[in-house]
Structure 1
């Protein structure tokens, strides 16, 4: 078996998808849930969720994590492998998005609850872990592209919608 670093990038992506049984994510890229806490918590809006959930998330050079937000939950991104990852954050009502680059030198970034976020691999692929607390539910997930243009924040970079 060839070492991972001796393969071309598309072979590495294919191998990661196969080995981790990743599936397409609605925002783009590939994912698999790794953990969902059995501990229930009640959020400030009185909705019950698990305490924390964790996914493995893969973006290749041709995919984006398009603008989305997770209501009532923080998301912690951790760079694991591959190229640096650009992670954009847009506060509600902000007039400019911020960009952080996750890499082995800056591996962790937190996106606060209700903030818009988007990401892009800055090379052939980026493998990250995303932990959401309280735990992730698609009920709390909004894709910016699903909102009418009049409700979209003006500062959201159009190429990430």
Structure 2
């Protein structure tokens, strides 16, 4: 059986600042000039980027946001729960996995500028997913959430915010 340690070794995954393990697998060699992008981007961006991302039970991807849409793809392992705080105050909860009869999805798009976090579902050993970002991801576009500030904006979700912030 496939396990997390094998995937980490096979794909040379590295620790991610938000939690979990990752490796950039694609970065387009062509760039969109900053003048053609919305003002929220301060410089040129690759057309698109992609990563592998792995979370083991007991770990989580802390609330963060980026300036681009991010498409999550389920690959292997057990289900992953993604939490997305929408600007209108609604919390979307999406389960990525391969059991479509339990409502799990193979893909989900996190809209640009939404705060989001993820963690393995209870009973999940590990989750191996991919994330594709367009315009391409740049750490200049990455912002980790401050729990107090996020709770002030979304007080109805303070428990989940406290659980999924670092």
Root-mean-square deviation (Å): 1.6
Is 1:107 equivalent to 2:106 in the alignment? Answer: yes
In structure 1, C-alpha distance between the alignment counterparts of 2:126 and 2:149, rounded to whole Å? 33
SS at match of 2:32: strand
**Pair 1:51 & 2:50 matched:** no
Structure 1 residue 120 displacement after superposition: 0.6
Which residue number in structure 2 is paired with residue 68 of structure 1? 64
Aligned-partner SS, 1:114: coil
Counterpart Cα distance in 2 of 1:100 and 1:70: 18
- The alignment status of 1:160 with 2:134, answered yes or no, reads no
Unmatched 5+ stretches in structure 2: none
Residue 127 (structure 2) pairs with residue 126 (structure 1) = yes
Q: Aligned residue for 2:31?
A: 40
* 1:19 corresponds to: 10
Matches of 1:80 and 1:119, distance apart in 2? 15
Count of aligned residue pairs for this structure pair = 148
Q: Which runs of 5+ in 1 are unaligned?
A: 6-11
Shift of the alpha carbon at 1:96?
Answer: 3.3
Partner Cα separation in structure 2 for residue 132 and residue 124 of structure 1: 26
2:89 aligned counterpart, secondary structure: coil
Q: CA deviation at 1:150?
A: 3.8
TM-score normalised by length of structure 2: 0.83
Any runs of at least 4 consecutive aligned residues in structure 1 with deviations exceeding 6 A, and if so which?
A: none
